[in-house]
Amino acid sequence: MSWPIDVGILGVELVFPSLFVDQTELEQFDGVSAGKYTIGLGQDRMGFCTDREDINSLCLTVVSKLLKRYELKPKDIGRLEVGTETIIDKSKSVKSVLMELFEPHGVTDLEGIDTTNACYGGTAALFNAINWVESSSYDGRLALVVCGDIAVYAKGSARPTGGAGAIAMLIGPNAPLVLDRGVRSIYMKHAYDFYKPDLNSEYPTVDGKLSIQCYLSALDNCYRLYHQKYQRLHPKADIVGLNQFDALVFHTPYCKLVQKSLARISLNDFLLTTDVEKRKKLYPAFYEKFDTIKLEETYFDRDVEKIFMDYSKATFNQKTKPSLLLANQVGNMYTPSVYSGLVSLLISADGDVSKLNGKHIGVFSYGSGLASTMYSISVTNDSAKLQSLLNNLSYVKPLLEQRTKISPEEFTTLMETRAHNSHRTNYEPSGDVSTLFPGTYYLKFVDEMHRRTYEKRE
């Protein structure tokens, strides 16, 4: 067997809830100022799950749909790993539940298990899969990475930043989306910015201000290290920095933070430009004003933020805004969030491969607590290969429009029901199965020993 080349993402499948609440209506219901969620956060709709769906059902749905869409047999998969922070059992993995899709076909030789650290677990699972394909452990089969979460918050200011979804990525050689080697940058440290210490509740504990600071600090560190590694690998490169990317995709707690993050990279580029004449040429309007600023003192500096958001606005609209469709329409999916951004970017081409052929995509993944990475993806120049990937994502936009809108009053009631039932035993959930998309797995029953059974809506 020859050594695998061009290892990356061969295919992607996405699922999101069939129900959503309108953020403008939620503003009115919550009694907050108009535009607080839609303009302040950049969110228009938020997908949510009733008590009929849990992390197991989401992942069963996305894996079964991927296998069907890509006409794969269970025996074609040699590694399956799940990234999630939605924990419903302190011992039993989601991966073990997904074996229900493989065992009946005699497939039990399947590497991988769950990986957990807030929103970063999916990226860790992806890297594990890439490393497996590129290693001596590789046996010629494909890897499957599953990212899934249900993001719910207690009633209050954080609730509109919720969401839910799952993404499955098929990993192997000769891929249309190739993960670049040698430039992956990691930044990890201990922080209590967002965490879930109460195992009896789905709701997190959040230090909002610290969370933003941790996110931006991680971005600074990852970007600068990526910058160094890229320069080392490409010492003669004409372009190094923001302009080397044709698109940038970020983990998206809410869309407004992503716009600030793109501006943050512009700020880093400014500070990394040490040649005075070059800085004067590139930043004529403010090259002297911020000459002595220190990066770590600018996290909440509104003056710096505004200047660089204005400066980078055109770049944001061109390179990052196309990746925010799903975040805007569904909300924060947690581990799938950054990959929903990748899907949004791909479908923004509307099937025109010429818009993506040969492009270079920067990716920033963040998980609270904290773990973060910046890496990059090179898009193939093979139009047929890329066209196949885009064709298999053509369902996403129509499916967004097939969802059912729920009033804020009913949404609040359903969230209360979900919270009440989250750890009940010997019960059948009350959520309406008929509202689920066809092909969706749902929770049928939880018995007296907490054993969960699932059925599929045909």
Residue 117: strand, helix, or coil: strand
Chain center to CA of 259: 16
Please identify which of the residues 49, 53, 222, 251 carries the catalytic annotation. Answer: 251
Chain center to CA of 156: 24
Q: Which long-range contacts (CB under 8 A, 24 or more apart) does 27-34 make?
A: 28/408, 29/408, 29/409, 29/412, 30/159, 30/160, 30/408
Please identify which of the residues 49, 59, 119, 255 carries the catalytic annotation. Answer: 119
- Cα torsion 235, 238, 240, 245: sign: negative
Please identify which of the residues 85, 147, 202, 255 carries the catalytic annotation. Answer: 85
Compute φ and ψ for 438, nearest 5 degrees.
Answer: -55, 145
Burial of 402 (0-12, 13-18, 19+ CB in 10 A): exposed
Closest Cα partner for 373 from 188, 104, 98? Answer: 188
Annotated active-site residue 234? The verdict is no
> Strand pairing of 19-22 and 45-48?
antiparallel
Strand partners, 46: 21
Residues recorded for the chain:
458
Residue 119: strand, helix, or coil: strand
Annotated active-site residue 214? The verdict is no
Chain center to CA of 327: 9
Annotated active-site residue 190? The verdict is no
> How many C-beta atoms surround the C-beta of residue 157 within 10 A?
15
Rg (CA), the chain: 22
Q: How far apart are CA 28 and CA 453, in angstroms?
A: 38
Side-chain-side CA neighbours of 108 within 13 Å: the count stands at: 3
Tokens 């989401």 locate to 58
Catalytic center residues: 85, 119, 251
